[in-house]
Each structure stands twice: as structure tokens, then as C-alpha cells.
Amino acid sequence: MFDPAMCCSTGVCGPGVDPQLARFAADLGWLQEQGVEVQRYNLAQQPQAFVASTAAKDALRQHGEQALPLLVLDGAPVSHGSYPDRDALARLTLAGLVPSGSALPIADEQAGGCGCGPGGC
């Protein structure tokens, strides 16, 4: 996952919380629990990862910063310009591993989108 330049990947930085980033961080955690290896790169903190990735370089060359966030799977871009939701992540990365029509757990919106319950994590 190639993120635009930002202070942190969770969305919990500074005085405001970006609920979209908090949801996506929870969704990536869920994806890791399913056995998917996830690597996440922030343009502000890891620019060398962008330079080393042909997919990231090509997407940035073609679309500029609007290409970010960019999801790359096995070296090929599969999503760009927005953070995919949990269902899209499952379709893109777990092809054949999640039975069609099965319910996927979602992040608890009232718990800040992190998947934690009201009593904490």
C-alpha cells in the first residue's frame, strides 16, 4: 500500500481523526489476520519505497499524486486514488479464500473505526 504524504497511517494524528484512515487501518489489520502480508509506505516517511517500486513510479507518472493511495498486489496496481473498503480488499487480495456471500466483519464505527469494542481493545 502506497499512501500519500501524511503524519501517520492510522489517521489518529494531530487534533483531528480521519475516520476513513482509521477504518482503513482496521481493515488492513483484519486482512493481516486473514494471513495476507501487508506492507504500507508513506510518501513523506519512506520515499525510497516509491522509487523502488515500478508500479508506484508508473502510477505517479501517469496520474500524479491523485494516484495515491495506491494498492499494489504482486507488483501490479489493483486500486488507486482512494482507500478500498473491506469488501473490496477481500475481493482484491483473498480471491478464492473467502467464500462468496460470506459475511465479513466490519470495523465498529462507534469505537473509532478501529474494531475495538466499547470497553477497549
Mean of the per-residue pLDDT values for the chain? 81
Give the CA distances from residue 82 to residues 15, 34, 69, 79, in Å, rounded to whole numbers and listed in that order. 23, 22, 6, 8
State pLDDT tens for residues 43-65. 999 999 999 999 999 999 999 99
Q: In 10 A of CB 72, how many CB atoms?
A: 19
pLDDT value for 103 = 44
State pLDDT tens for residues 98-121. 444 444 444 444 444 444 444 444
User: What is the rounded average pLDDT of the residues 30-34?
Assistant: 92
Q: What residue ranges in the chain does DSSP mark as E strands?
A: 2-3, 41-42, 70-73, 76-80
This prediction's pTM:
0.73
Tell me the domains of the chain and their CATH numbers: 19-95 (3.40.30.10)
- DSSP 8-state assignment for residue 18: -
pLDDT value for 9 = 67
User: What is the rounded average pLDDT of the residues 19-23?
Assistant: 88
Task: Cis check for the bond before 118: say yes or no (omega within 30 of 0).
Answer: no
Residue 65 CA to residue 16 CA, distance in Å, equals: 23
